[in-house]
């Protein structure tokens, strides 16, 4: 055991790991840019963080909390990159309001609109194509996210139409008719900060892949582009040409890659295939963005009761999680030994069956898996009537008959991510460890202040702020250490 611990410690040291952030030296160029972010000189571009991921990114609970922290410290550099218009029902944005009229067809790398043939798509994972002349989209920024630089990226090609762009009292035209198919981005700068931009599709169809707002007076812009339910493999459905043109125009100073949850919850997870996908997509990002630091988020802790996910990866069966059981009133304390408590960090080899068997042997859970019945109170002597029983709450912590557990695939995803990050010189943030380790989601859902939704996967607004605070604390420690 001592030998294994020393080997693990040596491995962490070799990888340049702090508590939960590995290879932080990769982030030195980003840290250097952050050090200049408070320079509010006009024309000084903001530090731009581009996060790409799944619903954790698309929902903007965590990225929104992180954005608030950074902009409160360094100032706002604009809202950053977004999918154009309103790409799906329920699409929400923080600090800006997006509008989209009828007359647009939405395509995506995953879900509705992902069936081929697909139009050109880029980093946002969505594109919109006008179906009627005069179709419009608009963006209105709140006071803290006003902008003086606006960029729109679209597909140019034969028989493509044009966009009319209204911003700051100016009318600009973006003509997309071209002899060959290509990606094209147009940037408009203004003398004064603006709060609204409007785009109208003229005559023939146009396809828009993304748009962005920035404020060139220092500060930070944090872009969150994600597709709900997607996996990293779906990111390969966008186009290299669009990705390269958008990276050239948006110039991120840090790329955050935040996939893994949906892979871990897949019916079957194949580590070798995932590693190929991860390496391939990192290479694509580097070809498009150049020598930009990449921070890879390890998959967070997330839980399920679906027993088929106990074996969705070729790894050891995960042990179940301890949960607080609902307290039931009883007439008197049970005259038996305290209930068995199974540690949250039980060895993976125990599995659900082994833990349940130990509980049954202790008499805490009967053979059918239901909660053990409470013994009736002892009969009072005939001569002295017993007082009325007083209900006493007896909170219990144990493994339920239908226990929560992290899918086997989730740990396997994390193992691949950590290994690839070390191999390809990426920074790696251990999200699960920063939550508190395996089964931490139980406390995030059932704590005094809930931080996750009842699905044990997604974070609420308070949880998003908490995760963002822990992430930034790790980055602050790494930045101070690098100084």
Average pLDDT value for residue range 38-52: 94
Structure letter (DSSP) for residue 351 = H
Judge contact between 149 and 80, C-beta under 8 A. no
Percent with pLDDT over 90 in the chain: 77
CB 68 within 8 A of CB 273: no
Query: CA-CA distance, 238 to 114, in Å (whole number)?
Result: 11
pTM of the model: 0.84
pLDDT value at residue 221: 98
pLDDT exceeds cutoff 70 at 228: yes
Q: Cα(99)–Cα(116) distance, rounded to whole angstroms? A: 26
Q: By CB neighbour count within 10 A (0-12 exposed, 13-18 middle, 19+ buried), where does 177 fall?
A: middle
pLDDT of residue 326: 61
What residue spans define the domains of the chain?
A: 18-307+407-482, 319-367+390-404
- Residue 366's pLDDT is what? 34
Check residue 396 and give its pLDDT: 63
**Statement: residue 244 has pLDDT above 60:** yes
- Give the pLDDT of residue 398: 78
Give the pLDDT confidence of 102-141 residue by residue, as tens digits.
Answer: 999 999 999 999 999 999 999 999 999 999 999 999 999 9
CA dist 89 → 85, 112, 120, 138, 334 (Å): 11, 11, 21, 16, 53
pLDDT at 358: 40
Question: Residue range 256-281: average pLDDT?
Answer: 98
Query: 186 forms bridges with which residues in the sheet?
Result: 152
Peptide bond into 117 cis (omega under 30): yes
pLDDT of residue 335: 43
Q: Are strands 396-398 and 170-175 parallel, antiparallel or unpaired?
A: unpaired
Check residue 350 and give its pLDDT: 39
Q: Quick check: 30 pLDDT over 60?
A: yes
Residue 325: what pLDDT?
Answer: 75
Average pLDDT of the chain, as a whole number: 86
Mean per-residue pLDDT, 446-456: 97
- Sign of the C-alpha dihedral computed for residues 104, 108, 114 and 120 taken in this order: positive
Residue 49 to residue 176: CA distance in whole angstroms = 29
Average pLDDT over residues 248-255: 98
Write the CA distances from 318 to 61, 62, 99, 222, integer angstroms.
Answer: 28, 27, 45, 36
Instruction: Check residue 4 and give its pLDDT.
Output: 33
Give one DSSP letter per residue of 73-86, joined into a string: HH-B---EEE-SS-
Q: What is the mean pLDDT of residues 209-219?
A: 98
pLDDT band at 400; cut points 50, 70, 90:
confident
CATH code of domain 18-307+407-482: 3.40.50.1110
Give the mean model confidence (pLDDT) for residues 215-243.
98
pLDDT at 249: 98
Query: What is the per-residue pLDDT for 344?
Result: 36
pLDDT reported for residue 372? 37
**β 182-194/147-156 pair status:** antiparallel
The residue behind tokens 């408590």 is 341
DSSP helix/strand/coil, 417: helix
- 202 close to 133: Cβ distance less than 8 angstroms: yes
């Amino acid at each position: 055991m001592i030998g294994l611990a020393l080997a693990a410690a040596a491995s962490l040291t070799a990888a340049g790991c702090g508590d939960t952030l590995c290879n932080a030296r990769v982030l030195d160029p980003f840290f250097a840019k952050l050090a200049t972010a408070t320079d509010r000189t006009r024309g000084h571009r903001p530090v731009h963080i581009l996060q790409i991921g799944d619903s954790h990114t698309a929902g903007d609970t965590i990225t929104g909390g992180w954005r608030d922290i950074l902009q409160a410290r360094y100032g706002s550099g604009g809202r950053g990159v977004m999918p154009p218009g309103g790409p799906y029902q329920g699409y929400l944005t923080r600090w800006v309001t997006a509008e989209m009229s009828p007359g647009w067809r939405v395509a995506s790398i995953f879900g509705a609109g992902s069936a081929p043939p697909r139009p050109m798509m880029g980093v946002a994972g969505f594109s919109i194509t006008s179906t009627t002349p005069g179709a419009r989209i608009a963006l209105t920024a709140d006071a803290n996210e006003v902008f003086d630089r606006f960029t729109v990226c679209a597909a140019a090609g034969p028989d493509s139409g044009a966009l009319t762009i209204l911003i700051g009292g100016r009318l600009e035209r973006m003509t997309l008719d071209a002899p060959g198919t290509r990606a094209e981005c147009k940037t408009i700068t203004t003398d004064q900060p603006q709060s609204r931009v409007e785009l109208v599709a003229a005559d023939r169809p146009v396809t828009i892949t993304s748009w962005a707002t920035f404020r060139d007076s220092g500060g930070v812009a944090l872009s969150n582009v994600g597709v709900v339910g997607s996996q990293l493999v779906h990111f390969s459905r966008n186009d290299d040409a669009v990705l390269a043109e958008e990276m050239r125009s948006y110039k991120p100073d840090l790329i955050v890659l935040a996939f893994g949850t949906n892979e871990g919850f897949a019916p079957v997870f194949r580590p070798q295939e995932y590693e190929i996908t991860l390496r391939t997509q990192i290479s694509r990002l580097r070809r498009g963005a150049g020598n930009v630091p990449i921070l890879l988020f390890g998959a967070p802790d997330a839980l399920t009761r679906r027993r088929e996910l106990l074996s969705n990866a070729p790894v050891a069966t995960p042990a179940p999680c301890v949960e607080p059981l609902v307290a039931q009133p009883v007439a008197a304390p049970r005259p038996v030994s305290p209930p068995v408590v199974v540690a949250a960090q039980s060895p993976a080899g125990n599995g659900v069956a082994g833990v349940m068997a130990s509980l049954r042997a202790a008499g805490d859970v009967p053979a059918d898996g239901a909660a053990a019945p409470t013994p009736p109170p002892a009969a009072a002597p005939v001569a002295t009537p017993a007082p009325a029983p007083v209900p006493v709450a007896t909170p219990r912590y144990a493994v339920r008959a239908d226990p929560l557990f992290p899918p086997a695939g989730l740990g396997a995803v994390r193992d691949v991510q950590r290994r690839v990050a070390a191999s390809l010189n990426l920074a790696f943030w251990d999200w699960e460890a920063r939550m508190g380790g395996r089964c931490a989601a139980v406390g995030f859902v059932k704590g005094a202040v809930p931080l996750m939704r009842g699905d044990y996967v997604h974070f609420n607004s308070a949880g998003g702020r908490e995760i963002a605070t822990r992430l930034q604390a790790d980055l602050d420690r790494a930045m101070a250490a690098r100084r």
